[in-house]
Chains A and B, each alone.
Chain A
Amino acid sequence: MARFAMLIDASRCTGCNACRIACQMQWQLPPERYFNRLEHRERGIYPNAKWEIVPIQCMHCDNPPCRDVCPTGATYKRTDGIVLIDSKKCIGCKYCLAACPYGVRQINENGVPEKCRFCAEYIIEGIMPPCTSTCMNEVRVFGDLDDPNSKISKLMAKKEVYQLLPEKGTKPRIYYVKK
C-alpha cells in the first residue's frame, strides 16, 4: 500500500514561483487561483538579516478537519493518503474552507473549494507532480513512504524534519527539512 508524502526543503527555495505556475498549467487554473503559494518572512536585524520563503499547499493531512466537517462526504481521503474532493457531491457550503488551518482551499467557478490534489491521476502512472519536477532547486521531493527505497524515505531517514501547525492535530503528509 502506498503512503504518499512530500518533503520540502524550504531553505533551497528562491521564490521564483515556477511551482505555482506549473500547477496552474497542469490544472488549467485562472491566474488568480493557485494550489500552492509561497509565504515570506524576515528574520534577524540588518546586517544579519535573512529572507525566508516557505512553500505551502494542501498537506493531505492524515486527520483532515476538512474531511470530517464535510456534510456530504464530498471531501475524502484515499487509502494512499491523498485527500480529494468529489465535486459532484459538493454542496458548496465552504465548511472545509473554514476548517482548514492552512488556508489552502480556493473556491472555483462552480463554488467548489478546490486544492492541491497531489496530482492523483498522474502519480499512479509514475509521473511526478509538476510542482516537484519543474523546480530548478529540487525543493520538493514527492514519493511513497511505504517504499523504503524511495528517495523521500531515504531523505526522511537522514534529515531532521518538522510539520506545520502540529498543534492542530491534523497530522500533515507534507514534511519540511529543519535548517
Chain B
Amino acid sequence: MTQLKLAAQEGAAPVEDLSDIPLAIRGLTVSYGSDPAVFSVDMTVPEGAMLAVIGPNGAGKSTLLKAALGVIPKLSGLVTVYGQPIASQRRRIAYVPQRASVDWDFPTRVIDVVLMGLYRDLGLLGRVRRSHRDQARACLARVGMEGFADRQIGQLSGGQQQRVFLARALAQAADLYLLDEPFAGVDAATEKAIVTVLKALRDEGRTVVCVHHDLATVTDYFSHVFLLNRRKIAAGPVAKVFTQQMLQAAYGGRLSGGQIDRIAAS
C-alpha cells in the first residue's frame, strides 16, 4: 500500500512522513450549520502518548473526535492513522463515545456489549464461540465488571456503564484509543480503575486520546494536552503547554484567576 503523505498547509512546504504518527489531522473543519464547530484544526498525536483534549463546553471536542473517525462528515481536512487513510486502519482504532449518546434502554446484556468490540473479527455471520466469550469476560475483569456479564445494560450505574464501554474498547485490542469523556459522572474509585487501565494501555505502547474536563487531574494523568476552542489553541507536552496563559486563551473568561493559578501551579 502506498504511503499517504500530507502536504503541509502552504503546499510548497516539504511533505511530512506520518507513518509513525498514530493520528494526524490537518486543516480539519466541521460545521453543523452556518458557523464551523471546529475550524482548520491541525493535530498530531505522538506514538505512546496519553493525550488530553481540553476545552470549554461546546468547544468542539466531541466533534473533533467524531469527524476524525468519519462518524460525522467533515467540510475539509485530512486525517491519517499511522500514515494511512482511516478506512484501511479501522482495526487499529477503538472509540468510546460520550455516554449520553447511546440508547441505554436497548435490550442487550453487558457481555453482548463487550462482544460488539469483536465485530471486526466476527463479521456479519461469524458464530460467537467460547473463545470470544472468554475474551469478552477477560476484558470485563480488567475493568472490574466480571460479575455483571448477564445484566441488562440499563440496569447499571453511570460509572459501571462507562467501565463496560471501556471493556468493549479493550476487546477491540486497538493501537489507538479515542475516548470521549471517560471520567464524566464517575466516582473516585471508578476514575482510579479507568486511569489504571488507560495507563496500562500506554505502558503496552498503545496511544490514548481522552476528551477530559477536570483540569485538576491533567498533570497526573496525561503526558500531552491539546487545547481546543473551535480552533487549536495550543498543543504539546503537559509541562510546556498546560500554563496559565494557554488556559486563559482556551477558556476565555470562563475560569476565575484563582482557578487557573491553582492548576498551573500544581
Q: Do A and B bind each other?
A: no
